[in-house]
């Protein structure tokens, strides 16, 4: 069975601070996808990044960066110079593969990030 | 390029009634999945449809059923509604095959059962 753990329930930072959201996962699959989504109060899950299990290259996109470490089953997400608009719930998710396609997503319980002005 | 669209946005139903939620996938996508998100929790997978067939199902009772149409749009039906079915129902779409596929979500349908 797959499992995703986001130990941080709530994080509060002051604008311009850096913040890291932790994600630890469990799976027996050798190939899988990892995702991060942002959920503002409107409810829509906004896609941020997808990472394949065989690609451990870390990625930076603007103020966002991701650190994937297969050895520790972690996929952490860092926001640099946080802004008030970053306030949302962030979800880490894991997917198995079937025929090369992602199947069901297993989500963590989410981290509520509040960025104070 | 239209994203994933869902309807209705909000609805209120009475316990015991039936509800149908609708989803149009992102243009070019052929796979639709449904998720239930209770307040304060992460989304839970209900089922996934591909080529008009249910390909995978999560741990939900038979009261939850679905359908996918030839144009890839989908419906989620819930019968004999319970108070515990109150949640945000999210539709997700993706393109089968190819390891670079990404899963996109709609804004969801907020269901309240009273």
pLDDT for B49-95, tens place per residue? 999 999 889 999 999 999 999 999 999 999 999 999 999 999 999 88
Q: Is B63 helix (H, G, I), strand (E, B) or coil?
A: coil
State the average pLDDT for chain B: 93
The two tokens of residue B10 are 């909000």
> Residue B28: what pLDDT?
86
Residue that has been written with the tokens 């997503």 in this structure: A105
Asked if the model's pLDDT at residue A27 lies above 90, the reply is yes
Asked if the model's pLDDT at residue B98 lies above 60, the reply is no
- Which position has the higher pLDDT, B28 or B73? B73
Residue that has been written with the tokens 């149409």 in this structure: B69
Asked if the model's pLDDT at residue A11 lies above 80, the reply is yes
Tell me the pLDDT band of B103, cut-offs 50, 70 and 90. confident
> Residue A94: what pLDDT?
94
> Residue A100: what pLDDT?
64
Across the strands, what pairs with A36? A49, A92
How far does Cα A46 stand from its chain's mean position?
11
Q: Is A62 helix (H, G, I), strand (E, B) or coil?
A: coil
The two tokens of residue A29 are 């699959």
Exposure string of B14-50, with b = 16+ CB inside 10 Å and e = fewer, is: eeeeebebebbbbeebbbbbbbbbeeeebbbbbbbbb
Long-range contacts of B53-61 (CB under 8 A, 24+ apart): B55/A98, B55/A103, B55/B31, B56/A98, B56/A103, B56/A104, B58/A104, B60/B36
Give the residue from chain B lying closest to A99, CA to CA: B97
* pLDDT above 70 coverage of chain B, percent: 95
Asked if the model's pLDDT at residue A103 lies above 80, the reply is no
Report the sign of the C-alpha dihedral through residues B107, B54, B79, B60, in that order: negative
Tell me the pLDDT band of B1, cut-offs 50, 70 and 90. low
Condensed to tens digits (0 to 9), the pLDDT of residues A28-76 reads 988 888 999 999 988 889 999 888 888 777 777 889 998 999 999 999 9
Interface residue A107 vs chain B (CB under 8 A): yes
Distance from CA of B103 to the nearest CA of A (A): 8
Mean pLDDT over B27-52 rounds to: 94
User: Do A25 and A5 meet the contact criterion of CB atoms below 8 Å apart?
Assistant: yes
Q: Name the percent of chain A in helix, strand, coil, to the closest 5.
A: 5, 60, 35
Inspect the interface and report whether the beta carbons of B42 and A108 lie closer than 8 Å: yes
> Residue B38: what pLDDT?
95
Asked if the model's pLDDT at residue A88 lies above 60, the reply is yes
> Residue A75: what pLDDT?
94
Q: Most B CBs within 10 Å: which of A7, A88, A100, A101, as the mutation test of the B interface?
A: A101
């Amino acid at each position: 069975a797959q499992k995703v753990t986001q130990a941080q329930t709530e994080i509060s930072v002051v604008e311009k601070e850096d913040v890291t959201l932790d994600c630890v996962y469990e799976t027996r699959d050798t190939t899988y996808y990892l995702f991060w989504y942002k959920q503002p109060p409107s409810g829509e899950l906004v896609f941020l990044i997808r990472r394949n299990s065989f690609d451990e290259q870390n990625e930076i996109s603007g103020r966002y960066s991701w650190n994937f470490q297969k050895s520790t089953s972690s996929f952490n997400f860092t926001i640099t110079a946080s802004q008030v608009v970053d306030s949302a719930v962030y979800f880490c998710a894991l997917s198995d593969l079937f025929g090369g396609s992602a199947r069901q997503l297993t989500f963590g319980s989410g981290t509520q990030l509040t960025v104070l002005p | 390029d239209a994203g994933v669209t869902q309807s209705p946005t909000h609805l209120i139903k009475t316990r015991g009634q039936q509800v149908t939620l609708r989803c149009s996938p992102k243009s070019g996508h052929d796979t639709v999945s449904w998720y239930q998100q209770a307040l304060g929790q992460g989304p839970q997978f209900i089922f996934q449809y591909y080529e008009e067939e249910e390909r995978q199902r999560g741990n939900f009772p038979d009261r939850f059923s679905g359908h996918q149409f030839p144009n890839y749009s989908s419906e989620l039906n819930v019968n004999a509604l319970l108070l515990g079915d109150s949640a945000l129902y999210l539709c997700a779409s993706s393109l089968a095959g190819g390891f670079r596929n990404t899963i996109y979500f709609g804004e969801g349908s907020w269901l309240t059962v009273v």
